[in-house]
Amino acid sequence: MTDYKNLKLIATSNPHIRSNETTRSIMLDVIVAMLPALLWAVIWFGMKALTLTAVSVIGCIFWEWLYRKLMKKPQSVGDLSAVVTGMLLAFVCPVTTPYWMILIGGFFSIIVVKQLFGGIGKNFVNPALAGRAFLLGSYAGVMTTWIDAAANKAPLMGAAADIVTAATPLAYMKTGDMEGLKSVYSVADMFLGKTGGSLGEVSAALLLLGGVYLIWRKVINWQTPVAYIATVAVLSFLFPKSGSGLDWMLYSIFGGGLMLGAFFMATDYATSPVTKKGQLIFGIGCGLFTVLIRYFGSYNEGVCYSIMVMNLCVALIDKYTKPTRFGVVKSDKKEAAAK
Amino acid sequence: MAQAFFGGVHPHDMKAATNEKAIEQLAPPAEVVIPMSMHFGAPCTPLVKAGDPVKVGQKIGEFRGLGAPIHASVSGKVKAVEPRPYSMGGNMMSVVIENDFQDTLSEEVVAPADPDALSVDEMVELVKNAGIVGMGGATFPTHVKISGGIGKVDHVLINGAECEPYITGDHRTMLERPEEIIGGCRYLAKMFGVDKVIIGVEDNKQNGIDAMNKVIAETNAPVVVEPLRCRYPQGGEKQLCQAITGKQVPPGGLPSNIGCAVFNINTTCAIYRAITKGMPVVSKIVTVSGSGVMEPKNIECPIGTPVSLLFDACGGLKDGTYKIIAGGPMMGMAQYTVDVPVGKGTGAMLAFCGKEEQTVEHPQCIRCGKCVAACPVHLEPLFMYQYAEKGMVDELNEAHVMDCMECGACAYVCPARMHLTQMFKTGKQLVKNKAAADKAAAEAKKAKEAKEEKEAVNK
């Protein structure tokens, strides 16, 4: 029979079982969800899309590893969050971005935005978007050069000086040139991703696919992306700059980084509210700022800055969307307020 | 089907290991160790001393204030009255009885001549003398719940949710002793003066529901079985009230505040036995299961049976067993020794040797908010954790840490493997300490002021 005296027992607090989901498995799901869009980028822009993403990922992993090593903190590379940041950073840069530049972007994302504030879960703006904003501020020319992928693919190495470029759909929309836009890109082109733009943002269809996968896997809640996209859709339908409301709406939601932002950026755990109600408000705010920047700002695209602005509102949203604790019914609350 | 509460989690129920195994009677143990605290409230005072002969059902511990008496579970001789380890941690004054294997019933156990003719007060007295407590694990004295609820309660609910994984004792009771459950319900309806008793059962126990419905139909009992959605912690008293009546118990309140009284399935059986036979609580159905157990079983054993005997009856433990839990895996208490005895609230003994315990070395919150969605009390565990970690007691109190029922749903679902429940236990203590310190400081100030006033008057 069992030797009960020599059992080595652990006595810890309940619960004694845990769900199988881990930080790592969640990050892995996000990576899987981004793969279709990455595949399209390779087909559409050429192999450079893959090599740039790989360099960005390796860079982010390296910065994370280096910081934790130098600061003598427990190593956190294994949670794969640096891989996600690296992929997202590459996704929001033009495919013609030089490799060294994306490494600098990774440095800013991982070390300045993420690690200096305490690592995963502690950053207050989205690291990948902050990295893009930093690069856009520092190298505006390169960051707004959009290759005409239908005419030529991105060269693997070397300068992108002699490539043929094209205006992005959002550039047409900025000036309200709906006729010009329609003659260049059809709605189907916009949906499938046969347009100019950042590496991973062009294919609305495949990003949508990835987003639905994340919702199905319960990695993200539907509240943020649906509220975000719906807000942009409603506002652009009601207030088209030119052409019909429907056309304007379709080009608005399929154009630019809206799908990428709504499903992969605005849903970042660390920089979005924790309650579903808060996530709904957060999504609406993102949509509002996106439309305002696209209409009235000096940039063509508003997704990056709108999400970063809303990131800063998260603490406020969390404060005012606390769930009502169990047992407190609405009439009680009114009574308490009356007192 | 009754709508479940907001929040909660859905762990794998793991009940397949034992839910088709009939309740077995354990071979009588040579010795039982009966701790004097098996209820919510102060420990009992032992009524016997070493050398005394005792019989089954004889009262050996008397309660003071809130509590329930304790009875001998076997006949024989008292070997010692001394502190022994027990399942709530640490040592507790216990009566150790050497079994004479005669099973002589005590003269104190007297069946009422006509149970159906008893008055409400007489029935409550029988429940009190039988030492019945909440058998689901909370061990709140049942007679207090009944006498305190009479007149206030219009919903009598029987808790058959059994939402903790692994545990199947209540399920087997539904299948094997449905007439005891329904009989107990009849007496409860009579005591509370209600015309209907509702049994809430999670819908993963369909055959249990059918078995009880059959008895209800045959005996025309005033009982309704309500299937519930599978969701942990459906069997939490307040969650069950919400699922069945739609009403929420106010913070810090009891189910009687909203006119509900909740009894566990096996508590109901105990009430039935007490009223019909005068039999006190001397045995307990324990589910012995988990990856570390050779052959999981449902076992009925005398109260005070050493846990090691239960594991022996199940073929022993596997090599590498690293955790033994009294109770379910979500809320049960990890044991540091197998020398603890089975108490009135011990519904399961689990042994783990697999990967149930999934800890990481440096957990870091990723703010995913899954804990907020899982909390059945609608709190925000991630913020409470930060406050507790930093010792921010006022913020912790304002985040309503004292409402936390330590169900473990947040920690179960946490992908970062944060030690949430553990931290809230610490946090609650911090709040209590602060409240006590504040009170002491206020009293000291008051005393000082009174003294100064007195001196001023004297001058």
Q: Test B248 with A76 for CB contact under 8 angstroms.
A: no
Confidence of residue B215 (pLDDT cuts 50, 70, 90): very high
Q: Is residue B218 part of a domain?
A: yes
Q: Which string of DSSP letters, residue by residue, matches A115-127?
A: GGGTSTTT-SS-H
B279 and B405 share a domain? no
Q: Please, which residues 423-452 of chain B have a Cβ atom closer than 8 Å to chain A?
A: 425
CA distances from B80 to A127, B33, B77, B313, B365 (A): 67, 9, 9, 26, 50
Q: Where are the beta strands (DSSP E) in B154-274?
A: 155-160, 197-202, 223-228, 260-264
The shortest C-alpha distance from B302 to chain A (Å) reads 21
Question: Which of A1, A76, A326 is nearest residue B377 as measured by Cβ atoms?
Answer: A326
Q: Is residue B131 part of a domain?
A: yes
DSSP assignments along A85-110, one per residue: HHHHHHHTS-TT--HHHHHHHHHIII
pLDDT, one tens digit per residue, over B305-315 is 999 999 999 99
**Dihedral sign of CA atoms A180, A184, A187, A191 in order:** negative
| 0.85 surpassed by complex ipTM | yes
Residue B81 backbone dihedrals phi, psi, to 5 degrees: -125, 100
Name the A residues in 222-281 with CB < 8 Å from any B CB.
269-270, 273-276
Q: Compare all CA atoms of chain A with the CA of B315 and give the residue at the minimum distance.
A: A1
A119 → closest Cβ in B249, B250, B364: B364
- The answer on B279 and B367 residing in a single domain is no
Considering the domain A23-320 in this protein, what is its CATH number? 1.10.3430
Residue A338 above 60 pLDDT? no
Whether the predicted pLDDT of B412 surpasses 90: yes
| Residue A158 DSSP label | S
pLDDT at B316: 92
The residue of chain A with its CA nearest to that of B337 is: A9
The answer to whether the CB atoms of B367 and A121 lie below 8 A apart is yes
Among the partner residues A11, A328, A329, nearest to B335 by beta-carbon distance: A11
| CA distance to partner chain B, nearest, from residue A111 (Å) | 17
Residue B403 main-chain phi, psi, to 5 deg: -80, -20
Say if A334 is an interface residue toward chain B (CB within 8 Å): no
Q: What spatial distance separates the first Cα and last Cα of chain A, rounded to whole Å?
A: 67
Q: What Rg, from alpha-carbon coordinates, does chain A have?
A: 22
- What's the mean per-residue pLDDT of chain A? 92
**Does residue B433 carry a pLDDT above 70?**
yes
Among B4-18, B258-272, B376-390, which stretch is predicted with the lowest mean pLDDT? B4-18
Asked whether the beta carbons of residue B329 and residue A15 sit closer than 8 angstroms, the reply is yes
A258: tokens are 């809206």
What count of residues does chain A have?
339
Least CB-CB distance to A121: which of B332, B366, B379? B366
Give the span between the Cα atoms of B44 and B63, in whole angstroms: 4
> Residues B126-140: what's their mean pLDDT?
91
Q: Provide the shortest C-alpha distance from residue B197 to chain A (in Å).
A: 23
Range B390-395 average pLDDT: 94
d(CA B132, CA B2): 29
- For residue B157, the cross-strand partners are B198, B262
B373 interfaces chain A, CB cutoff of 8 Å: yes
Residue in B321, B379, B416 nearest the CB of A23: B416
A334 pLDDT exceeds 60?
no
Which of A3, A5, A7 is most worth mutating to test chain B (most B CB atoms within 10 A of its CB)?
A7
Contact check, Cβ <8 Å, A14/B408 = yes
Q: What is the pTM assigned to this prediction?
A: 0.91
Interface mutation target, options A1, A2, A120, chain B, most CBs of B under 10 Å: A2
Of B334, B400, B413, the CB nearest to A16: B334
| Chain A nearest C-alpha distance from B330 (Å) | 4
Structurally, chain B folds into a number of domains equal to 2
Residue B347: pLDDT over 60? yes
Q: Out of B263, B283, B303, pick the residue that ends a domain.
A: B283
Residues of B in contact with A19 (CB under 8 A): 9, 11, 412-413, 415
Three-state DSSP class for B295?
A: coil
Contacts of B333 in chain A (CB under 8 A): 14
Domain residue spans of chain A: 23-320
Contacts of A327 in chain B (CB under 8 A): 238, 248-251, 253, 403
Measured distance CA(B195)–CA(B181) in Å, rounded: 16
Q: Do B255 and B373 fall within a single domain?
A: no
CA B372, B374, B379, B385 dihedral sign is negative
The amino acid sitting at B244 is: I
Which of B238, B255, B283 lies at the terminal end of a domain, its last residue?
Answer: B283
Task: Tell whether the model's pLDDT for residue B1 goes beyond 70.
Answer: no
Q: What is the mean pLDDT of residues A211-222?
A: 96
Q: Is residue B309 part of a domain?
A: no
Q: Is the pLDDT of residue A160 over 80?
A: no
Averaged pLDDT, A19-47: 95
pLDDT beyond 90 at A332:
no
Query: Residue A231's closest CA among A275, A274, A294?
Result: A294
Residues within 8 A of B (CB atoms), A 26-55 only: 26
Query: Is A13's Cβ below 8 Å from some Cβ in B?
Result: yes
Chain A residue with minimum CA distance to B425: A13
φ, ψ (nearest 5 deg) of residue B324: -125, 130
Looking at residue B451, its pLDDT comes to 87
Whether A336 and chain B come into contact, CB under 8 Å, resolves to no
B269 and B368 in a single domain? The answer is: no
Instruction: Report yes or no: A210 and A263 within 8 Å, Cβ to Cβ.
Output: yes
User: Per-residue pLDDT tens for B324-342?
Assistant: 999 999 999 999 999 999 9
* Peptide bond just before A15 cis, omega within 30 deg: yes
Q: Residue B123: give its domain's CATH number.
A: 3.40.50.11540
Token output for B91: 């040592």
**Total Cβ atoms within 10 A of residue B40:** 16
Asked if residue B304 is part of any domain, the answer here is no
Report pLDDT for B222: 93
Q: Residues B119, B252: one domain?
A: yes
Residue B172 pLDDT more than 60?
yes
* Six-digit token string for B201: 């059962």
List CB contacts of A167: < 8 A, sequence separation 6 or more: A146, A184, A196
Instruction: Count chain A–chain B contacts defined by CB atoms under 8 A.
Output: 165
Calpha distance A111→B49 (Å, rounded): 70
B254: domain range? Answer: 15-25+109-283
Closest CA to B165 of B307, B22, B1, B350: B350
Are B135 and B253 part of one and the same domain?
yes
pLDDT at A56: 97
- The pLDDT confidence band at residue B252, using thresholds 50, 70 and 90, is confident
